[in-house]
């Protein structure tokens, strides 16, 4: 099965095999929010994924 490239580009696999990505919808409409919330939006989120889905979307990891 082929790797889903559009999905794989959004996810980074760490050294220990964890999946890390950004939350969706954090790029625009930040001018009115305060700086504390804007700083929190930069953070990445770890993703829980079953082995079946991991092999489906991220073939080589």
Q: Which helix (H) or strand (E) is 20 found in, with range?
A: strand 19-22
Q: Are 57 and 8 in contact (CB under 8 A)?
A: yes
| DSSP secondary structure of 25-54 | S-SS--SSS-HHHHHHHT-EEEE---HHHH
Q: Are 19 and 13 in contact (CB under 8 A)?
A: yes
pTM value?
Answer: 0.64
Structural domain that includes position 53: 5-57
Question: In the chain, how many domains are there?
Answer: 1
Q: Which residue has the higher pLDDT, 55 or 60?
A: 55
Helix (H, G, I), strand (E, B) or coil at 9: coil
Q: Residue 54's pLDDT is what?
A: 82
20 band by pLDDT with thresholds 50, 70 and 90: very high
Q: Over the stretch 29-59, which tens digit does the pLDDT of each residue have?
A: 999 999 999 998 889 999 898 888 887 777 6
- Tokens 């939006």, residue located: 41
């Amino acid at each position: 099965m082929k790797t889903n490239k559009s999905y794989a580009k959004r996810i980074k696999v760490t050294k220990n095999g964890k999946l890390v990505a950004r939350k969706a919808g954090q790029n625009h409409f930040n001018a009115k929010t305060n700086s504390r919330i804007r700083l929190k939006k930069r953070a990445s989120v770890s993703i829980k994924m079953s082995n079946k889905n991991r092999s489906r979307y991220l073939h080589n990891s």
